[in-house]
Every structure is written in C-alpha cells, then in structure tokens.
Chain A
Amino acid sequence: MSQAMTIHLKVWRQSGPDAKGKLVDYRLEDLNEDMSFLEALDVLNEELIKKGEDPVEFDNDCREGICGSCGLMVGGIAHGPMKATAVCQLHMRHYKDGDTIVVEPFRATAFPIIKDLVVDRSAFDRIIAAGGYVSVDTGGAPDANSLPIPKEHVDEAFDFATCIGCGACVASCPNASASLFTGAKVTHLAHLPQGQVERKERVVRMVEQMKAEGFGDCSNHGECEAVCPKQISIAAIAKMRREYLRALFG
C-alpha cells in the first residue's frame, strides 16, 4: 500500500525572461510515493489552476528518461539525487514525508530562463549545427551493415551517442561549461567512419560555437559525469581536446 506523503516545495517562479524571479513555498499533501517528481508538479499545477493561479511551467515530454526535454535542479542537483536518472524518472519514494525540496531551473547565461523552470537550450542546437553532422552519399539507401566498423569503435561511439542533450552537464558544472555535451558529440563521430570527412572542422567549429554561446571553460570538476542521466564519461572531454590538438597540428 502506497504511503501518502506531504512535501514542501520551494519552486523558482519567474513570469518571463526579464522578470525578477523568486522561490515560492508550496505544500503538497496526499502525494503518492509511486508518483514521479513531475507528477507531483502536475498535482501542484492542478491545485494552482483550481485556485486561479498561474501553473508552474516546466519542460517535459516522453517521461521515460530518453528525450532530454525535462531538466530541473532538484535539491541542488541536476535531475535530482538519483544517479543515471532524468528528473522524469525520479520518484517520490526517494523522499520522506515532510521533506522540503528546492526546485530551480538549469542556470547558465547560455540557457536564458523563458518562464519559471523552463530555459532556452537552443545554444546546444547551434553547437550541433556548427559541426555535429556527417556528410552522406546521395542516391539509394545503402545496404545495412555495408560499412564495416570494428566492434570496439561502435561500442565506444555508442556510449557517447547516448547523450540526450538535456543540459544537466551545464547546469551542474560550477563553471557552466558545455564541454561534456560538445565532447560527447565530437567523440561519438570521431569513432565512426562516417564522421571522418568533417573530423577536423567539426571539433574546431563546435568548440568555437561553445565559446560564442557564452558557456564557461571546463575546470575538470567532473560534476557533469556525476549528474548525466546517460552516465557519459568525462573521457569525452579529454578526447575532444585530443581531437582539437589533432586539428591544430595534424
């Protein structure tokens, strides 16, 4: 039998990009411990709507931990306290009755707040557009498996391809650096034959775009790896640096 619980939330409310925001206290009663954290926010929003107040805006889509849409600082940690979990897969059973949870948006100059907990992460799209693509032959679709790739390269590439672009790496980084995101994309494509054509341009352009977007420089705290819902290793950042040096001197 699920236990009913009361949770105190301190939620960042900000009516628009230039408005001054503040933390607002809410008390949620009779929550079900099997609810996800986002479902608890849904309950809060239903109550707010019933009272005629503005619901809390937050991004979400698949609620299966695979789309990268959701992203909140929950109790000071990007996606909350559970490892390898997007916030949509965080459940209330990890909290105790009476707990207070602070909920803030991902904060970075490059991720401006749109409203409440929703931030604009299109800076990531522009980093991808700068070099996170591959050239493909035109014509009919090639046969599957026609391009031989060593198993270890595929495995390695896949580990970094699992990035869902949620932005938790930036949010948790004390420097608000996008190095893990960019490193994951660069590393993923550097391991595959399809990625070789633009290999050198890619890393240079993506690193330049990262700076142009206003992300901070990496200080190797490794916090990004700890909060990444896909557990992407900071080895990607080391690889990005090798790729950059290779582009420079190679």
Chain B
Amino acid sequence: MTPRIKHDKPGLRSALSSSVGKKVLTGVTGFAWAGFVILHMAGNLSYFGAGEAYNEYAHKLLSTGPLLYAVEIVLLICLVIHAILGVNIYLGKRRARKQSYDTYRSAGRPGLQSPSSRTMILTGVVLLVFLAIHLKSFKFGPGIAEGYSLLVDGEPIRDLKRLVTEKFRHPIYAFGYTGVMVLLGFHLRHGVWSALQSLGAMNRRLTPLIYGIAALLAVGIAAGFIVLPLYIYFFAP
C-alpha cells in the first residue's frame, strides 16, 4: 500500500488569507450581493405593478421583521469582507509589481481582460459610496412620521412610491442613479463570471458559456434598475 503523508491542513486564518481563500471569500460574498441586487431589481419593477403593488411589496418586506434583520446583517458582513478583500487584493497587486510597464497591451482573447475587469476597484468604491447615499435617501429617508403614508386595508403604511417618484423627478437623482447602475453592470460583468471561477466552478467548456451569460445578466440587471428612474423622470405624471 502506498503510504500517505500526514496531511497538515492549513489553519483557518492561513487558508482565508491565502490567494485561494481570498478569492473564494470574495466570490461567495459577491454572490450574496448579486442575489440581493437581482431581488432588489425585481422589487423595483413592482413600481409598474397595478395599484399599490410597490408599497405593499415594501411593506411586506419590512413586516418580515427578524428575518429581514438577519438578511441585512449577513449582507453587511458580506459587504465588509468583500470590500476589505477588494482593497487588499488591489494593494497587493501594487506591491507585486512596483514598477509598471512603459508599454502594456492586452493580448486579447482567450484572455478576458476588459474595462470591466480592470476597474473593479473603482466601480466597487463608487458602489459603496452610492450605497451609503442610497440608504440615507430611501431606507432611512422620510417615512410615515414625515407624512409619506397611505392607508391600505385601514392600516397606515409608508408611501415609498411617492418618495421614489419625488426623488427621481430630480435630474441629479435620476441620472446619478442611472450612471451608478451602469457601473453596477460593469462590476457584475466581470464579477459574476469571476466569482464562479474563484469558487473553482469553471472549466474549459463552461467558461465561454458562463462568461456570455454573465454579460447578459449584467446588462439585464443594469437595465432593470435604470428603467425606473428614467421612466419617472421622463414620463411619470
């Protein structure tokens, strides 16, 4: 029988800070947020639903209580990990090549280097800043107490639709949001595919397929978000 060498597993700390561990964590946390933005986008589209669909959807989400808090805490943890690792990988790359090339060009396919892959740190930072402003404007924005309320089945609920409509009538909000969602599309264009590669889920057959699907997904998600502010700005009564 072939003797097996005693296998010393790396400690959790060493595994998580290894180049593989960092990518796996970045991928998992990125996926959590990708899932969230898809749900968020679907929620946004309920604005176009009949009656008070949008407000009722928002109210239903809020009324899940502890479940919502749990999801929010998980998302917050994922965001912190994702952001720290993103900055860490970016700083590491600068240390790993202290003197840059005088002339550098991509060799093209089958490489997947793109404006999207090269600007992950930039789009990520913009998305982070946007998230803070976005939460302040909407999640922690004016609610029932400030008069943004309506009665549904005799119960006062927050009139989020009115707040959203008012905000997106303002060109800075409408076009600022649109611009950031384009950047989200760029982040996802590389991010979705890259997360799967980081988790080791890719092979030679799957990569071109998944890379293509990731592009469609990125465009779809960005478009799904952009349609709301543009509709409100140009067409909403």
Q: Name A's B-contacting residues (CB within 8 A).
A: 10, 12, 23, 73, 75-78, 81, 83, 102, 104, 107-110, 135, 172, 174-177, 179, 196-198, 200-201, 204, 207-208, 210-211, 214-227, 233-235, 237-242, 244-245, 247-248
Contact = CB atoms under 8 A, between A and B. Distances in A.
Contacts of A245: 20, 24, 200
Contact of A176 (B22, B93, B110): B93
Nearest to B105: A76
Lowest 7 A-B CB distances belong to which pairs? Answer: A226-B111, A216-B96, A242-B200, A241-B200, A76-B105, A176-B96, A222-B112
A83 B111 CA distance: 11
Interface in B4-43: 4-5, 7-10, 14-15, 18-24
A15 to B, nearest CB: 16
A77 B23 contact: no
Q: How large is the interface on B (under 10, 10 to 19, 20 to 34, 35 or more residues)?
A: 35 or more
A197 B96 contact: no
Nearest to B117: A221
Given A200-B7, A215-B96, A235 B117 contact: no
B95 to A, nearest CB: 6
A241 B113 contact: no
B9 A248 contact: yes
A233 B8 CA distance: 29
Contacts of A208: 10, 14, 18
B207 interface: yes
Interface of B: 2-5, 7-10, 14-15, 18-24, 89, 92-93, 95-113, 117-118, 120, 190, 193-194, 197-204, 207
Chain A's interface: helix, strand, loop or mixed, by majority?
Answer: mixed
Given A214-B96, A219-B194, A81 B103 contact: no
A178 to B, nearest CB: 9
7 contacts: A76-B105, A81-B107, A104-B103, A175-B89, A208-B18, A219-B120, A242-B200
Contacts of B106: 77, 223, 226
Contacts of B198: 220, 241
Nearest to A239: B200
A148 B29 CA distance: 42
A77 B108 CA distance: 10
Given A221-B111, A247-B7, A177 B96 contact: yes
Contacts of B23: 217-218, 220, 241
Given A220-B112, A227-B107, A242-B200, A107 B99 contact: yes
B96 A235 contact: no
A76 to B, nearest CB: 4
Given A175-B92, A176-B96, A220-B190, A233 B204 contact: yes
A244 B20 contact: yes
B107 A83 contact: yes
